[in-house]
């Protein structure tokens, strides 16, 4: 599938998200059901694009967050599960990619565009491994205020079956996978997964490659946390490390560095305005993102919406 098509689908969904955020509260309830339904309906039609990153490691991209797959005789390891409606195409792409029985699904964090396919993947034989906070978030109702979303607890079959606190290591199919929890960044559930030998690093939604990120302040996300997470990842990555963002095209250390530098510059500008006593509205009116908008204002977050998150969490 051409990259432009993926991007078009992404923008269509994110436009719906932004529209939902702008609605009056009374209209939200009807809209949010539409939004989840809309994403699922779109995901049913979007093919899964498979890109080989290493002998037995692949990038899988569809409607939801970016996924990764390791194949091998000791069992397949999948990272994130997209939308429930993408499951048939996802399972087919997994089966075409290479050998091995179902083994483990890892969730990078709790958000539904990364975990909605958990139940179907679990039913196909995968255990679900995630940070302990992901289990907590998926086991209880959650609210994403920015999008007017009230999400019920995930079904029992969609919840992690194994969890960890700070780090976990998997030794499978000739490689070692390091799973490490970030301090709260995009949410309080974020982890990275580093395939040591393949030198592939999945950063989940602590990295949006090419556009302003959503930061989920309702479940622990902060601008400082995002920047710290990027710094941790930059210290780990080499110049040839393949870096998978939660959204956007495959990245590398230089792309992550640009993202980090953009976040840091905007954080500093917004922090200065806030310390001068400006309200959130007044700070946004100063357009602290203006130098970056031509490059970064291309996705889910408008400059004003992104400035608001930075202001509230700085």
Interface with Zn ion (CB under 5 A): 111, 205
Least spacing, CB of residue 56 vs Zn ion, in Å: 27
Minimum CB distance to Zn ion smaller for 56 or for 134:
134
Minimum CB distance to Zn ion smaller for 75 or for 160:
160
Least spacing, CB of residue 108 vs Zn ion, in Å: 8
Least spacing, CB of residue 216 vs Zn ion, in Å: 6
Minimum CB distance to Zn ion smaller for 2 or for 152:
152
Minimum CB distance to Zn ion smaller for 80 or for 175:
80
Minimum CB distance to Zn ion smaller for 97 or for 301:
301
Rounded CA-CA distance 5/45 in Å is 12
Least spacing, CB of residue 225 vs Zn ion, in Å: 13
Least spacing, CB of residue 23 vs Zn ion, in Å: 21
């Amino acid at each position: 599938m051409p990259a432009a098509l993926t991007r078009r689908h992404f923008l269509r969904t994110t436009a719906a998200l932004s529209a939902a955020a702008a609605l009056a509260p009374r209209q939200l309830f009807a809209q949010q059901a539409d939004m989840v339904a809309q994403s699922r309906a779109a995901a049913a039609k979007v093919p899964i694009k498979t890109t080989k990153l290493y002998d037995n490691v692949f990038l899988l991209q569809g409607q939801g967050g970016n996924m990764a797959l390791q194949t091998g005789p000791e069992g397949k390891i999948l990272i994130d599960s997209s939308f429930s409606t993408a499951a048939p195409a996802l399972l087919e792409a997994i089966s075409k990619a290479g050998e091995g029985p179902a083994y483990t699904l890892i969730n990078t964090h709790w958000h539904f565009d990364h975990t909605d396919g958990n139940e179907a993947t679990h039913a196909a034989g995968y255990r679900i491994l995630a940070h302990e906070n992901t289990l907590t978030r998926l086991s209880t109702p959650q609210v994403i205020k920015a999008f007017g979303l009230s999400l019920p607890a995930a079904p029992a079959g969609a919840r992690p079956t194994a969890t960890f606190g700070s780090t976990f290591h998997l030794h499978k199919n000739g490689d070692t996978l390091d799973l490490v929890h970030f301090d709260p960044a995009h949410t309080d559930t974020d982890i990275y997964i580093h395939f040591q030998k393949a030198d592939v690093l999945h950063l989940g939604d602590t990295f949006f490659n090419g556009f302003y990120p959503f930061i989920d302040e309702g479940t622990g996300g902060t601008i400082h946390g995002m920047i710290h997470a990027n710094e941790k990842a930059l210290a780990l990555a080499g110049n040839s490390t393949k870096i998978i963002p939660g959204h956007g095209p495959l990245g590398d250390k230089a792309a992550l560095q640009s993202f980090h530098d953009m976040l840091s510059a905007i954080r500093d500008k917004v922090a200065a305005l806030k310390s001068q006593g400006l309200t959130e509205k007044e700070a946004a009116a100063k357009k602290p993102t203006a130098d970056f908008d031509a490059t970064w204002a291309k996705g889910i977050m408008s400059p004003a919406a992104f400035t608001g998150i930075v202001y509230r969490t700085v």
